[in-house]
Amino acid sequence: MDAFLNLAHGFATALSPQGLLFTFVGVTVGTLIGVLPGLGPSATLGLLLPLTFGMNPTFAIAMLAGIYYGAEYGGSTTSILLNLPGEAGSVVTCLDGHLMAQKGRAGAALGMAAFASFIAGTVGLVLFTFMAQPLARWSLSFGPPEYAMLMLLGLTAAASLSRDKLKGMIMCALGLLLRTIGTDAVSGTARFTFGSPNLLGGLSFIPVIMGLFAIGEILAELAQGEGETPGAVRVTSSYRLRDLLPTLEDWCHSIWAIIRGTLIGFFMGTLPGSGAAVASFLSYSAEKAVGRRRNQLGTGIIEGVAAPESANNAVTAGAMIPLFSFGIPGTPTTAILAGALMMYGLQPGPRLFTEHPDFMWAVIATMYIGNVMLLVLNLPLIGLWVQLLRVPLHLLAPIVLTVTVIGAYSVNNNLFDVWVLLLFGLIGYLAKTYRYPVAPLVLGLIIGEKLEQSVRRSLLMSLGDPRIFVSSPISLTLFSLALLAIALNAGGAVRRYLAARGAATAS
C-alpha cells in the first residue's frame, strides 16, 4: 500500500512539464542512439553527464535512464530492416526480424518489437517497484561458479540456435577465443597481441558485430543482385498504420513469448554483468525449446522478434535492482547512472529509498511514462522506417557501409577499429557463404571476459578443484541444463549425419 502511495506521489512530479520534457528528450535520444550502430547508451551517457550538472537530480536521472531503455527500443529497427544490430541486445532480433522484413512484414516486426518492448519494460518496472528487496536477496546467491554455469548455458543455447550445431559450437569457441586477445585483467599478461599496442585493450565488440552482421549481409545481398531493393524485400504499398502493425494472429503467437522473455530478461537483469545479449539469447532459446512454433524459429516468425525484444527491455528494469538495492551497477550504463547519482550527492544503495523517497519514486514514475512515450514515438515511425526498404540497394549499401565505418571509428576514435570492422566484414561474408552462424560468435565475444573471470575466481576459491561448478543447487541446475543442451545438440547432429549418409547410400 505504501508503494502505491509513494508511486502516486512520484507521478505528480513526473507529470510536471519539466518531468515530461526531460523524459521525452531522454527516450528520443536513446532511440536515435539505439538505431545508430556504434554509439551505445553508455558512451552517450558519458557524453551527456557533464551537461546535467546543475540540473534537478530527478529530471537528470530520468533523462539519463530514458536514454538507457530508449536505446534498447531503437536497437531493433536496424536489426529488422538491415540485419545490422544497433545494440548487443538486438543481435538475436536479426535472426527472425530481418527475414520477416525480407518477406514483406517489416512493419509487423517493427510493431511487435515496439509493443513487446513496451509490455516488458512496463511489467519489469512493476516487478522492480514491488519485488526489489526479495529479488535483491536472490541475486546475492549468485557467486562466480553460478555465473560461470549461467554463461555456459547461454553459450550452449546460442549454439543450439544454429541448424548445424557443431558449427554453432565452433563459432562460440571462436568468439570466446577472440575475447582473450589483449591484456589479461588479472595477471597483466598480453595475450595474442603479437606486439601490437592496438590489441592490448582487446577487440572492441562493436566493430566486430557490425562487420559480421552488417557488412557481411550487405556483401551477400550485393552478390545476389545489383541494384535491387535489399534482399528482394516486398514492401507493402499500403501506408495505413493498421497494415503495418502486428495482426491478431501475430499477437496470439507472441503473447507467451513476451511473457517468457519478460521474466527471463528481468531476472537476468538483476544479475550484475549478465547483460541484455545473454538475456535475449536465453529468451530466444527458451522459445526454441517450448514455443508452439519452435520448429519454425529462424525462418522469420513473429515470436523470433517478440522473445528477444521483450527480454532486452526487461533487463533494463532488472538492472536497476542491484544498482538501487546494493549500489552495485551491473552494466556500464548503470555504472554511469551510479556516477550521476554520486555527482548529486546521492549514494546508490538501499538507503536511497528511505532517505530520498521523493527522488526515487519520481524516477520510477518517469520510467513508466518513458515507456509509454517510446511506444507513442516509435509506432508512427514504423511507416517511415519501412520506406527505407524502398531505397535501391546501390544507394542504400554505400550509406550503410559509411555509417558502420563511422560507428566503428566512434568507439575509440581510432582507425584500428575500422580495420577490425573490415576484417570481420570479410569473415562475416565468408561465414554467410559457407553457412557458419555468426550469432554464437558474437555472444562468445560479449560474455567471454565474464565467463573467464568467473571460471578463474571459482577455481581460486576451490584451490583448483573443478567440482565447485556443481557444488551448489543453482550451479548444478544450470550445469545440468547446459549438459542437456549439448547432448541434444550432439544427438541431433549425429542423427542428421546418419540420415545424410543413408540418403546418399540409397541414391
Partner 1 sequence: MNKQRVIEGSIVTALGLTTVGLSRGYTYMDRYTPGPGLFPLWLGVLLTVFGAIVLLTGLASPGERPKAATLRPGDLVPLAVLALLVAGMELLGALVSIAVFNMILVRLLGRRTSWPAAAVVGIGVSIGCYLIFERLLGVPLPKGLLGI
List 183's β-bridge partners, or say none: 190
| CB nearer partner 1, residue 418 or residue 478 | 418
Please give the residue ranges that form the binding site for partner 1 (CB under 8 A): 36, 39, 47, 166, 169-170, 173-174, 176-177, 180, 184, 186-187, 189, 191-192, 215, 218-220, 222-223, 226-227, 392-395, 397-399, 401-403, 405-406, 409-410, 413, 415, 418-419, 422, 425-426, 429-430, 433-435, 452, 455-456, 459-460, 463-464, 497, 500-501, 504-505
| CB nearer partner 1, residue 62 or residue 169 | 169
In the complex, least distance from residue 355 CB atom to partner 1, rounded to whole angstroms: 35
Question: 324, 352 in Cβ contact below 8 A?
Answer: yes
Question: 448, 179 in Cβ contact below 8 A?
Answer: yes
In the complex, least distance from residue 178 CB atom to partner 1, rounded to whole angstroms: 10
Distance (Å, whole) CA 89 – CA 27: 17
| CB nearer partner 1, residue 191 or residue 351 | 191
The 3-state DSSP composition of the chain as helix, strand, coil percent (nearest 5) reads 80, 0, 20
Rounded to the nearest angstrom, the gap between the alpha carbon of residue 170 and the centroid of all alpha carbons in its chain is 22
List 182's β-bridge partners, or say none: 191
Q: Which residue has the cell 544503495?
A: 349
Phi-psi region of 160 (alpha: psi -120 to 50; beta: other; left: phi over 0): alpha
In the complex, least distance from residue 191 CB atom to partner 1, rounded to whole angstroms: 6
| CB nearer partner 1, residue 187 or residue 354 | 187
Residue 389 C-alpha cell reads as 526498404
Type of residue at 83? N
| CB nearer partner 1, residue 222 or residue 476 | 222
Distance (Å, whole) CA 80 – CA 309: 11
Listed residue (209, 248, 254, 243) closest to 386, CA to CA? 243
Question: 179, 202 in Cβ contact below 8 A?
Answer: yes
| CB nearer partner 1, residue 247 or residue 462 | 462
| CB nearer partner 1, residue 221 or residue 303 | 221
In the complex, least distance from residue 376 CB atom to partner 1, rounded to whole angstroms: 23
In the complex, least distance from residue 466 CB atom to partner 1, rounded to whole angstroms: 11
In the complex, least distance from residue 330 CB atom to partner 1, rounded to whole angstroms: 23
Provide the Cα torsion 485, 490, 492, 497; round to 10°: 170
Distance (Å, whole) CA 396 – CA 210: 16
In the complex, least distance from residue 397 CB atom to partner 1, rounded to whole angstroms: 7
In the complex, least distance from residue 478 CB atom to partner 1, rounded to whole angstroms: 19
| CB nearer partner 1, residue 343 or residue 422 | 422
